[in-house]
Amino acid sequence: MCGIFGVISNTPVNQLIYDALLLLQHRGQDAAGIVTMLEGKCFMHKARGMVRDVFRTRNMRALPGNVGLGQVRYPTAGNAYSEEEAQPFYVNAPFGIVLVHNGNLTNAHALKQELVDVDRRHINTTSDTEVLINILAHELQAAARDKVLTPSIVFEAVRAVHKRIKGSYAVVALIAGHGLLAFRDPFGIRPLCFGEAELPDGREVVVASESVAIEGTGHKVVRDVAPGEAIFIGMDGVVHAEQCAENPTLNPCMFEYVYLARPDSIMDGISVYQARLNMGETLAKRVISTVPPKDIDVVIPIPESSRPSAMQLAQKLGKPYREGFVKNRYVGRTFIMPGQGVRKKSVRQKLNAIGVEFKGRNVLLVDDSIVRGTTSKEIVQMARDAGARKVYMASAAPPVRFPNVYGIDMPTSEELIAHNRSIEEIRQFIGADALIYQDVDAMKNVVGALQPALDGFEASCFDGRYVTGDVSVDDFTAMAAQRKSQGDEEETADRTRLALQNGTEAG
């Protein structure tokens, strides 16, 4: 999961891209990067850290131009701790291309060898984004040979890219002197939308992972980029669009609605906030069948993503909804911190219990999902330490039983608390008096009802079905080996200093 943004304008765009990345910060906290372009020359700054830490005044001044793109990263492929693998990526031929990518290529290893042996291109990192930009560069060169670059030639190249790469990908690329290209995988797994604004200096067109980055920067959302579709925005701001995949279907990632996206975003016609309300409503039915409502005194969300579901659940149960945990907003999202060690030690830095809401009560804690179980275990103990008589736990998502290969940081089965464990075994592990999970089909139905045009959901981490049809046991083995080879860096000086800085810096 990453956040990407691109813009073509008639005015300087460095501040606009910075503001958009702040709005997408929830999608990645490991690294950030911006590229702008002026008179065909690229200006780039990227580094590890949060947006506000990566970009200082001197960095912003060094990013001139009216065209640009940016990314916030949390790594799912490649090296989590390599600054060289922060995006954007750049290749100088053909034309000069800069690219940012959200997703994960499932055939990156085979493509890398193909690029070396057949396309004669050099790959310098383990990042699948570098593979992707080189595939795009090769296909653009083939399509545009001895021709003037036109939108139709760009779309021809994207068609060839779709045929070669597999997995999930939302892409924004700048082609020097020509314009901005954005395209989405044929299954629509990762989100992408575009918007525009009519300014005194002319039309400004933007592309982003989530609608909140478009609306929050003063633009109007035009629509989502369709699965398999490519849009090309010329330097004059004119938008050209074409379907470039043979059999596209719309299967957005369910985990976006469960956890990843901001609640104020609308993705593929579905309000993330309404989706979470609906999840809470159907979760209430599961709770009633497991724990009699008379045995529940209060419903308490585990901030932030679970709040809409918890509110709706409390209303359906007729129980008071209370904020029992205070979140330290200067600590990053626990789920997307690389390394289990960082995850473990950050929970109590991140949350603190309000004793009066727990003491002597039977509390129902509601979380958006339970992935590794370590956070849930500690939160349940925090509730008990605060004086709760009984602690029930409800998850607005079903058990996460299967690895994810499409851009979410849970690729190995060993990390998943629900893999090969019963609900009772999970309950014992986290120490709750009762554990209630969402039903997979019920979740799909209540979220899917908000957008009848969907063909389905990419929900492989819940149901084990991989929509691209090309995922094998070997893929999981390779990912597990890669993660182990990277090690865990939470004890290094740089990582510790960054965590402390983010935890204490005043807003």
Active site residues: 2
Among 243, 216, 278, 160, which Cα is nearest to 18's?
Answer: 216
CA 464, CA 402: separation in Å to the nearest integer? 6
Task: Assess contact for 483 and 412: CB atoms under 8 A.
Answer: yes
Q: Phi/psi zone of residue 136: left (φ > 0), alpha (ψ -120 to 50 degrees), beta?
A: alpha
CA–CA separation, 12 vs 280, rounded Å?
44
The token pair that represents 430 in the structure block: 């986290």
Number of alpha carbons in the 13 Å side-chain half-sphere of residue 142 = 14
| Sign of the dihedral defined by the CA atoms of residues 123, 486, 45, 198, in that order | positive
267 burial type by CB count under 10 A (0-12 exposed, 13-18 middle, 19+ buried)? buried
Report residue 252 as tokens: 């957005």
Distance CA 443, CA 464 (A): 15
- Helix crossing, 440-448 with 272-290: angle to 10°? 150
CA angle 167, 444, 461 (to 5 degrees): 40
3-state SS of 89-105 is: EEECCCCCEEEEEEEEE
Helix axes 423-430, 374-385, angle to 10 degrees: 50
What are the structure tokens assigned to 151, written together?
Answer: 């939108």
Name the region of 44 (left: φ>0; alpha: ψ -120 to 50; beta: rest). beta
